[in-house]
A and B are shown apart, each in its own frame.
Chain A
Amino acid sequence: MLLTVTDLRKTYATADGDFDVLRGVDLSLDAGQTLALTGESGSGKSTLLHLIGGLDVPDGGRIVLDGTDLTALDDAGRARMRRETVGVVFQQFNLIPSLRVVDNIAFQARLAGRHDGAWCDTLAERMGLTPQLRKYPEQLSGGQQQRVAIARTLAPRPRLVLADEPTGNLDEAAAAQVLALMLELVTDTGAGLLMVTHSDRLAGQMQRRLHLSRGVIA
């Protein structure tokens, strides 16, 4: 099993008292599997993704990723997980504005010490980014930016790819194209994919589908 989440809990302290976002989430994912996570806005999908990605810490429960207990790691340990094992694609503001496209694509792989120039070239080519390599992120369209983000996430060949509404900011045609490319490449690398979406049509393209409601998997 690539990912096992057991009884995951997260509570936010707000002005009106504590707010339990996740109340015991269980889920698991195999390598090479694709999973869609749906749910209403505010149901805690992003929160769950952040916890799995080692971006935040849960208040209870366990996350075992590729044999490592994430919840037992410190700040530096989680940072290493983020570099080497997981890749996250966000809805927006993904890229490092000061670096050119080519350097953005290679960034995470080089951080992880797994840079493979030929693979990066392949990714750029298949994402249709070859003409844009010397540009800066702000010079690209939204769809192009998101393709850079996906290429960058896949460059170090992560075991698990997390995507939080990766096409939410794109128009329908661009969204379909980006998603198709992502699925194709994830399948090629054999990684697991966990994607948050509230589009039924997109969720339908994934192998499995889970629904988050009132802090638990329905």
Chain B
Amino acid sequence: MTGTVLRALLSHWRRNPLQLFTLLAGLALATALWSGVQAINAEARASYDSAAATLGEGTFDQLTRSDGQPLTVASYVALRRAGWLVSPVTEGRLDGVRIVGLDPLTAPGGLGPVQIADGADVGAFLSGQGQVFGRAAALAALPAGPEKVESPDVAPDTVITDIGVAQRLLGRDGQIDRLIVAMTQPIGQAPLSEIAPELIRKVAQGGSDLGRLTDSFHLNLTAFGLLSFAVGIFIVNGAIGLAFEQRRPVVRTLRALGVPLRRLMVLMALELALMALVAGGIGVALGYVIASLLLPDVAATLQGLYGATVAGTLQLRPVWWASGLAIAFGGTAMASAAAFWRLARLPLLAGGSPRALSMAAGRSARVQGALALVLLVAAGALALTAQGLVAGFALLGSMLIGAALALPLILDRVLAMAERLSRGVRAQWFWADTRQQLPGLSLALAALLLAMAANVGVSTMVSSFRLTFTGFLDQRLASELYVTAADPADAKRLVDYVTPRVRAVLPIQSAPAQIAGFPAEVFGARDDATYRDNWAFLSANPDTWDAVAAGDGILINEQLSRRSGLSLNDAVTLGGRQFAVEGVYGDYGNPIGQAILTEAAFEALYPDVTPLRFGLRLPAAEVPSLVEALENDVGIPAANTVNQAGIKRISLDIFDRTFTVTTALNILTLTVAGFAILMSLLTLAALRVPQLAPAWAMGLTRRELGLLELVRAVLLAVLTALVALPLGLALAWALLAVVNVAAFGWRLPMFLFPLDYLRLGGFALLAAALAALWPAWRLARTPPSDLLKVFSNER
């Protein structure tokens, strides 16, 4: 019996190959979307992590010799023996390329290219000629020798390699420039002054800002990855629902012939599992292809992410396969649950008159409307009150699901209104007919809504992030060059040397303090145009810097303001002195509170602090020669200088790659939404003929009908886009202003980018139009005999 039943079930697909294709393609696309977004996400994450790592060795404390000379291997060995987790670095310039040599066996994780952290091919990295990692341009500038591995993650004009290779390339055998101190150290180790008194510890600074900023970015990107996945699941759900719907008569007949329901369900579940396997496999491969096509430089990195070896061929990691297939199975199960439930309750004798169906539809529309209302009201309430991560995600969830549920009802109302207002009979019929199509299209339109909203949200988030971040860099890195001295004597020599050579020397000095009961770092700033010109405030009194320079004004960062509740003009007590808050500034990425006093006030409060870091103002073109002069004349190694232009270039570079990622995400989700529309239209096409035949018989041409079909799809897409825009903005707002604040303690300002939204709306319309093109063309070409069959007695 099983064989016979299976044949009867499967025969459906032979008769409806298009439907089979739709189901498989829908599943495969959903899986591909998931895998592709995963790959893109991982790629973005990897590039941030490594960019942050190569950029800011400032993430870790460092040990250097106070006289600026190279370290001896002896002191390194002594430190390791004493239990210090340190890792040697040799660094220098060769033909304009910065060569950074690391010891992969002792380097803390997260430093250097991801491939190394992955433990990729440590053998090749260490042995023989070794490998160097860098961008194509930097690699090309190097002499022949070690194997060159292109790695776009490394900062520009920089290559990373094993310390031995670096020493050989630089001709500095056995020399170590500095030691990296791992973040966590065993307790009870002997102090540095006992083991290696000639070394000084340079406390990490700066680098962590970037790391924390990107943490926030990752969180947001992950949220959008999930959203894209939801779009995919919508499609699978639609495909399975329709396939089951169409096989009702077969199922009914089989059951009437005595096939037990249970056996039927098991067989159909097996059938679906088989499809999930096939489609999931195709989807994983497709996602891989999409990811490598969409990200121009993803191919090389993919090897590191998914193929174990750097030098090996492009291969898919088993984990990736497993997660892709799991998604396909999970999605299929989720999507088919409702279909199976309906199947189990299907009455044996045919009922399902159109009237009963539409009455049921009316009932479920009411339930759906009530649910949407509850969720949206909950979202509104959460938006006003939400604090904390859980509430933030609850806000996101209720907003999105509520909007997806509300969409068909909103569209129905709009179309009903248009029908009432329309004058001509064609227009009236068009609106009424469009309204009738809504139930069949609502799933696809909900997918389009989520895709559009995700895209608006992602664009807003990324662009706001970029604006904020570059503005923040401009403010914080206003000086052209930052130099760190090893000790006060060094600092004095430095200041004496540079003072006649630069426009301004800005000491950077700080001391830990308690402000309003919260730990904070207090800075003393010299009164200089640099600050006046570049700093922007979240809130401030007029003439902020004058008030600070006068000695009794203080500036605090957003984090401190939020935590302590201090705001403008509130009094702050520091060392028994009163200061008035003159301004609150954004301090993105900083985990702790911060406050700024004028230099004199700071010195009065903390007479023991001597500044070791300095910002230097000078023409940008003179920076490289000054760096060299500092190294040669004052003995300050290049590693202790930070070139502002370099940091800005690197961070802009990061954002260019972010935009690639964003565009990829946009295209992917809209493609899938477009596919959902195509699929729905194709499935509806068979139902369309009886609906259109009377209109045709009464004198509308098939051309006209086809054209209206196209117009209808575009119109629905326009309406959906109009709902998606505010939803996307609300989404971005929730992520930036609620989730981010909860997760990181600071709020990322939100900017609007109308042109981006316009372009996205254009894409969505294009996707809808392309999806509707073929069904409309087919409709326009329906042979009259097919239309006439509708009326014939044999039907």
Give every chain A residue within 8 A of B183 (Cβ-Cβ). none
Which of B424, B436, B699, B790 neighbours the largest number of chain A CB atoms within 10 Å of its CB? B699
Q: Tell me the complex Cα distance, A81–B701, Å.
A: 11
B702 touches A93 (CB 8 A): no
Residue B691 interfacial (CB < 8 Å): yes
Residue A170 interfacial (CB < 8 Å): no
- Tell me which of A81, A93, A111 contacts B426 (CB under 8 A): A111
Q: Tell me the complex Cα distance, A53–B697, Å.
A: 9
A76 touches B701 (CB 8 A): yes
Knowing A96-B691, A97-B691, A138-B355, the reply to whether A55 touches B435 (Cβ < 8 A) is: no
Instruction: Report B421-455 CB contacts with A as 1/0, cut-off 8 Å.
Output: 00011101100110110000000000000000000
Which residues of B, 352-404, contact A by the 8 Å Cβ criterion?
354-355, 358
A82 touches B698 (CB 8 A): yes
Of chain A, the residue at the smallest CB distance from B432 is A98
Q: Tell me the complex Cα distance, A167–B355, Å.
A: 22
B699 touches A165 (CB 8 A): no
- Tell me which of B355, B435, B695, B791 contacts A139 (CB under 8 A): B355
Of chain A, the residue at the smallest CB distance from B428 is A103
Residue A46 interfacial (CB < 8 Å): yes
Residue A83 interfacial (CB < 8 Å): yes
Which residues of A, 163-190, contact B by the 8 Å Cβ criterion?
164-165, 168
Of chain B, the residue at the smallest CB distance from A92 is B791
Least Cβ–Cβ distance between B783 and chain A, in angstroms? 9
Knowing A55-B697, A75-B703, A164-B791, the reply to whether A98 touches B429 (Cβ < 8 A) is: yes
Q: Tell me the complex Cα distance, A94–B792, Å.
A: 11
Instruction: Report B677-703 CB contacts with A as 1/0, cut-off 8 Å.
Output: 000000000000011011101111111
- Tell me which of A75, A80, A111, A138 contacts B358 (CB under 8 A): A138
Kindly state the interface size class of chain A when it binds its partner: 35 or more
Residue A101 interfacial (CB < 8 Å): no
Of chain A, the residue at the smallest CB distance from B431 is A98
Q: Tell me the complex Cα distance, A138–B355, Å.
A: 6
A97 touches B436 (CB 8 A): yes
Which residues of B, 755-787, contact A by the 8 Å Cβ criterion?
784-785, 787
Knowing A82-B698, A99-B429, A106-B425, the reply to whether A91 touches B791 (Cβ < 8 A) is: yes
B698 touches A107 (CB 8 A): yes
Residue B793 interfacial (CB < 8 Å): yes
Which residues of B, 704-743, contact A by the 8 Å Cβ criterion?
704
A79 touches B700 (CB 8 A): yes
Residue A112 interfacial (CB < 8 Å): yes
Give every chain A residue within 8 A of B701 (Cβ-Cβ). 75-76, 79
A82 touches B699 (CB 8 A): yes
Residue A26 interfacial (CB < 8 Å): no
Q: Tell me the complex Cα distance, A88–B795, Å.
A: 18
Residue A108 interfacial (CB < 8 Å): yes
Q: Tell me the complex Cα distance, A178–B100, Å.
A: 95
Give every chain B residue within 8 A of A138 (Cβ-Cβ). 354-355, 358
Q: Tell me the complex Cα distance, A107–B788, Å.
A: 19
Which of B695, B697, B702 neighbours the largest number of chain A CB atoms within 10 Å of its CB? B697
Least Cβ–Cβ distance between A55 and chain B, in angstroms? 6
Q: Tell me the complex Cα distance, A108–B704, Å.
A: 16
B432 touches A56 (CB 8 A): no
Which residues of A, 85-117, contact B by the 8 Å Cβ criterion?
88, 90-99, 103, 106-108, 110-112, 115
Least Cβ–Cβ distance between B196 and chain A, in angstroms? 86
Which residues of A, 112-126, contact B by the 8 Å Cβ criterion?
112, 115
Q: Tell me the complex Cα distance, A111–B703, Å.
A: 16
Give every chain A residue within 8 A of B697 (Cβ-Cβ). 53, 55, 82, 88, 90
Give every chain B residue within 8 A of A82 (Cβ-Cβ). 697-699
A108 touches B785 (CB 8 A): no
- Tell me which of A79, A95, A111 contacts B425 (CB under 8 A): A111
Which of A41, A75, A115 neighbours the largest number of chain B CB atoms within 10 Å of its CB? A75
Give every chain B residue within 8 A of A46 (Cβ-Cβ). 788, 792-793
- Tell me which of B698, B784, B793 contacts A108 (CB under 8 A): B698
Of chain B, the residue at the smallest CB distance from A113 is B425
- Tell me which of A97, A111, A164 contacts B698 (CB under 8 A): A111
Q: Tell me the complex Cα distance, A206–B406, Å.
A: 56
Give every chain A residue within 8 A of B795 (Cβ-Cβ). 92-93
Q: How many residues of chain B get a CB closer than 8 Å to chain A's CBs?
A: 34
Give every chain B residue within 8 A of A115 (Cβ-Cβ). 425
Residue A50 interfacial (CB < 8 Å): yes
B788 touches A55 (CB 8 A): yes
Which of B426, B691, B700, B791 neighbours the largest number of chain A CB atoms within 10 Å of its CB? B791
Instruction: Report A16-30 CB contacts with B as 1/0, cut-off 8 Å.
Output: 000000000000000
Q: Tell me the complex Cα distance, A161–B436, Å.
A: 29
Q: Tell me the complex Cα distance, A75–B787, Å.
A: 14
Q: Tell me the complex Cα distance, A168–B791, Å.
A: 12
Of chain A, the residue at the smallest CB distance from B702 is A75
Least Cβ–Cβ distance between A78 and chain B, in angstroms? 9
Give every chain A residue within 8 A of B693 (Cβ-Cβ). 93
A50 touches B788 (CB 8 A): yes
Of chain B, the residue at the smallest CB distance from A139 is B355
Least Cβ–Cβ distance between A109 and chain B, in angstroms? 8
Give every chain B residue within 8 A of A56 (Cβ-Cβ). 784-785, 788
Least Cβ–Cβ distance between A131 and chain B, in angstroms? 18
Least Cβ–Cβ distance between A62 and chain B, in angstroms? 19
Q: Tell me the complex Cα distance, A26–B635, Å.
A: 113
Which of B433, B792, B795 neighbours the largest number of chain A CB atoms within 10 Å of its CB? B792
Of chain A, the residue at the smallest CB distance from B690 is A93
B354 touches A84 (CB 8 A): no
- Tell me which of B700, B703, B791 contacts A93 (CB under 8 A): B791
Least Cβ–Cβ distance between B651 and chain A, in angstroms? 56
- Tell me which of A50, A81, A96 contacts B694 (CB under 8 A): A96
- Tell me which of A90, A98, A108, A152 contacts B699 (CB under 8 A): A108
Which residues of A, 43-89, contact B by the 8 Å Cβ criterion?
46, 50, 53, 55-57, 75-76, 79-84, 88
Least Cβ–Cβ distance between B417 and chain A, in angstroms? 15
Of chain B, the residue at the smallest CB distance from A106 is B425
B793 touches A80 (CB 8 A): no
Give every chain A residue within 8 A of B354 (Cβ-Cβ). 97, 138
Q: Tell me the complex Cα distance, A91–B694, Å.
A: 12
Of chain A, the residue at the smallest CB distance from B355 is A138
Give every chain B residue within 8 A of A165 (Cβ-Cβ). 793
Which residues of B, 325-377, contact A by the 8 Å Cβ criterion?
354-355, 358
Least Cβ–Cβ distance between A119 and chain B, in angstroms? 15
Q: Tell me the complex Cα distance, A103–B425, Å.
A: 9
Q: Tell me the complex Cα distance, A84–B791, Å.
A: 20
Q: Tell me the complex Cα distance, A50–B792, Å.
A: 11
Give every chain A residue within 8 A of B433 (Cβ-Cβ). 96, 98
Knowing A98-B433, A98-B691, A138-B355, the reply to whether A168 touches B699 (Cβ < 8 A) is: no
Q: Tell me the complex Cα distance, A138–B356, Å.
A: 10
Give every chain A residue within 8 A of B429 (Cβ-Cβ). 96, 98-99, 103, 107
B436 touches A98 (CB 8 A): yes
Of chain A, the residue at the smallest CB distance from B434 is A98
Instruction: Report A171-213 CB contacts with B as 1/0, cut-off 8 Å.
Output: 0000000000000000000000000000000000000000000
A residues bordering B, Cβ < 8 Å? 41, 46, 50, 53, 55-57, 75-76, 79-84, 88, 90-99, 103, 106-108, 110-112, 115, 138-139, 152, 164-165, 168
The 4 closest A-B CB pairs, nearest first, are A83-B699, A110-B425, A90-B791, A98-B436
B residues bordering A, Cβ < 8 Å? 354-355, 358, 424-426, 428-429, 432-433, 435-436, 690-691, 693-695, 697-704, 784-785, 787-788, 790-793, 795
Q: Sample 22 A-B pairs with CB under 8 A, ordered by A number.
A: A55-B697, A75-B702, A79-B701, A82-B698, A83-B699, A88-B697, A91-B793, A92-B791, A93-B693, A93-B694, A93-B790, A93-B791, A98-B429, A98-B435, A98-B436, A99-B428, A106-B425, A107-B429, A111-B698, A138-B355, A152-B698, A165-B793
Beyond A56-B788, A107-B425: 14 further Cβ-contacts under 8 Å? A41-B793, A46-B788, A55-B697, A55-B787, A55-B788, A82-B698, A93-B795, A98-B432, A99-B429, A99-B432, A103-B429, A108-B698, A111-B426, A139-B355
